[in-house]
Every structure is written in C-alpha cells, then in structure tokens.
C-alpha cells in the first residue's frame, strides 16, 4: 500500500543556478499538496507533461529526496522516519541511475545484489530469471558502454527488480524502448499486479496509462488535478479519449499552474 498525503516539494535554487538558467525565483515549487493512494494489486499511473512533478513525487516516495511537507507511507513505513525499511521494500526505477560503463550486465547485477546484501546464489537465481524475461542473456557479458539505449533501460529495470519487493515505483518505465521491448516490460508489470504487488508508474504517454493502469492521476504544474479510472476521467471531463481529456484539463489548469 502506498499513501501520499499532502505532499509538497520545493527545490531551492542556488544563485549560480539562477544566473545560469536566467531564473527569477529562489525556489521552484515542483509539487504542491498532492494526495493519493495505491492499493496492492493495482497499477496507478501518474500522467503529466514535462516538468509536471512526476519524477519529484516518485523520488520523494523512494527516499531519494525529502518532502518539504506532507507524509508518505509505504507498506506501513514512513519515508522520512523509516527510510531504510522503505528502501528494503521497494523496487525503484529512475532514468537518472547511471550504470557504470565499464561493467558488464552480469557484473552489474552481482554488484547491486551485493549492495542489497543478497547471497551469491540468490543473486544468480534472480539474475538468470530477470535476464531471461527481459532478453538480456545474449549480451550479459558485453560492456555497458557498448549497449544501446534500450539495452541500458532493460538492464536498469532488471537491476531495480533484483530484490522482489511488494512495492514497485517506476519512473517512465518504457522510455526509449521499442514496442516489443516495451511490451515485455508492461506484460511483466501486469504479471506483478496479478501477484498482488502495489505498482506506481509515471508516464507522459497516454497509451501506456490507458493500457496498463487501473487508475490514473493527472499532474499538471505540480497539482494532482484529477484522478480515477479511465472511465471516470472521461466522464468527469465529458470527453471520449484520454488525449482529449488531457487537452481539456491542460487548457483549464495548465496556464495557472505551469
């Protein structure tokens, strides 16, 4: 179970950064007063345009950054007071994870398994299972520097799933993947959902949200402006497709907040 209550995250921007990026304000309010929950056996999609606050929300959930205010509880553990337990109970995928270019896929898994305090036999079992699912077996001994974007993304996913936790937090999981590989990933997430895992993904791709999620939350300018099943969102916005719902909402809320 994931519970996010009144999450607000403000980034402070240094003078140098402000000058560099020609910014006026000392701070950026990336996410404001966002609340939602995700149940076991459910896939929740955070949908929003660039800069909406998706990654910020997921990073707060994954204990990478601290909320400015609000509360996040993951399987009963508070991200601020019990961050270590949270980390043990989540699988987190981020595009910002930089894999060491000199490592092979095989060694990368061993390395991260070690960090997770897994036993060598445990790592091997899980590694073979994940390499098989994501089609990594064929290039497991190649150096990452020779990988394509898709191969890196697949390995990133395998690394994040090394342990087998109940909560899966994936930031843009199908980013950079061709449609076959993207399907492998979405099928895997659907399998995990069947197993009763609690899953949240972020995406700016409507089709991914439509196809994969049980419920969708739309973030615009740091505000969660609507949430519900696809059917509920279409009803509330009086539209026929998620694209149209999104455009209607963006027209209404985009300028004020973004």
Ligand X SMILES: Nc1ncnc2c1ncn2[C@@H]1O[C@H](COP(=O)(O)OP(=O)(O)OP(=O)(O)O)[C@@H](O)[C@H]1O
Nearer to Mg ion, 94 or 104 (CB): 94
> Closest by alpha carbon to 218, among 243, 193, 197?
243
Q: How far apart are CA 89 and CA 40, in angstroms?
A: 13
User: Three-state SS for 254?
Assistant: helix
Which range binds Mg ion by CB under 5 A, 16-24, 55-63, 162-170, 178-186?
A: 55-63
Kindly state the DSSP code that residue 145 receives in the 8-state scheme.
G
Q: How far apart are CA 168 and CA 189, in angstroms?
A: 9
**Least separation in angstroms between CB 157 and Mg ion:** 16
Nearer to ligand X, 94 or 104 (CB): 94
Instruction: Pick one of ligand X, Mg ion, none as the site partner of residue 56 (Cβ within 5 to 8 A by kind).
Output: ligand X
Q: Are 189 and 168 in contact (CB under 8 A)?
A: yes
Residue 182, token pair as written in the block: 């993207």
Is residue 28 a contact residue for ligand X (CB under 6 A)? yes
Q: How far apart are CA 43 and CA 26, in angstroms?
A: 36
Nearer to ligand X, 45 or 133 (CB): 45
Is residue 174 a contact residue for Mg ion (CB under 5 A)? no
Q: Which x/- pattern over 40-69 shows residues binding ligand X (rule: CB under 6 A)?
A: --------x-xxxxxxx-------------
**Least separation in angstroms between CB 223 and ligand X:** 12
**Least separation in angstroms between CB 54 and Mg ion:** 5
Binding residue count for ligand X, defined by CB under 6 A: 13
Contact positions with ligand X (CB under 6 A) in 175-234: 204
CB closest to Mg ion, residue no: 55
The continuous run of DSSP H or E covering 92 comes out as strand 90-93
Nearer to Mg ion, 47 or 73 (CB): 47
Residue 114, token pair as written in the block: 């070690």
Q: How far apart are CA 145 and CA 151, in angstroms?
A: 11
Contacts of 28 (CB under 8 A, 6+ apart): 10, 11, 13
Q: How far apart are CA 204 and CA 66, in angstroms?
A: 24
Instruction: Pick one of ligand X, Mg ion, none as the site partner of residue 48 (Cβ within 5 to 8 A by kind).
Output: ligand X
Q: How far apart are CA 63 and CA 21, in angstroms?
A: 27
Nearer to ligand X, 30 or 249 (CB): 30
Query: Which of residues 9, 32, 55, 91 is near Mg ion by CB under 5 A?
Result: 55
Binding site for ligand X (CB under 6 A): 11, 13, 28, 30, 48, 50-56, 204
Binding site for Mg ion (CB under 5 A): 54-55
């Amino acid at each position: 179970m994931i519970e996010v209550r009144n999450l607000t995250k403000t980034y402070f921007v240094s003078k140098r950064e402000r000058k560099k990026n020609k910014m006026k304000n000392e701070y950026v309010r990336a996410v404001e007063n966002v609340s939602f929950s995700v149940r076991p056996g459910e896939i929740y999609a955070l949908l929003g345009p660039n800069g909406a606050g998706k990654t910020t929300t997921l990073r707060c959930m994954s204990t990478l950054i601290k909320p400015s205010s609000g509360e996040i509880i993951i399987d009963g553990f508070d991200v601020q007071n019990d961050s270590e337990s949270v980390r043990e109970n989540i699988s987190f995928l981020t595009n910002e994870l930089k894999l060491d270019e000199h490592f092979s896929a095989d060694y990368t898994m061993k390395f991260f398994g070690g960090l997770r305090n897994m036993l060598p036999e445990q790592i091997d079992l899980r590694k073979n299972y994940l390499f098989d699912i994501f089609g990594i077996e064929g290039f497991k001994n190649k150096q990452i520097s020779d990988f394509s974007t898709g191969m890196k993304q697949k390995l990133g996913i395998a690394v994040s799933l090394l342990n087998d936790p109940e909560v899966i937090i994936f930031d843009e999981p199908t980013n950079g993947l061709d449609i076959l590989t993207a399907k492998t990933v979405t099928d895997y997430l659907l399998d995990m959902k069947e197993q009763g895992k609690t899953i949240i993904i972020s995406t700016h791709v409507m089709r991914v949200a439509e196809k994969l999620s049980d419920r969708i939350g739309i973030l615009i300018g740091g505000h969660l402006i609507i949430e519900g099943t696809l059917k509920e969102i279409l009803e509330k916005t009086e539209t026929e497709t998620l694209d149209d719902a999104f455009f209607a909402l963006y027209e209404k809320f985009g300028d004020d907040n973004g």
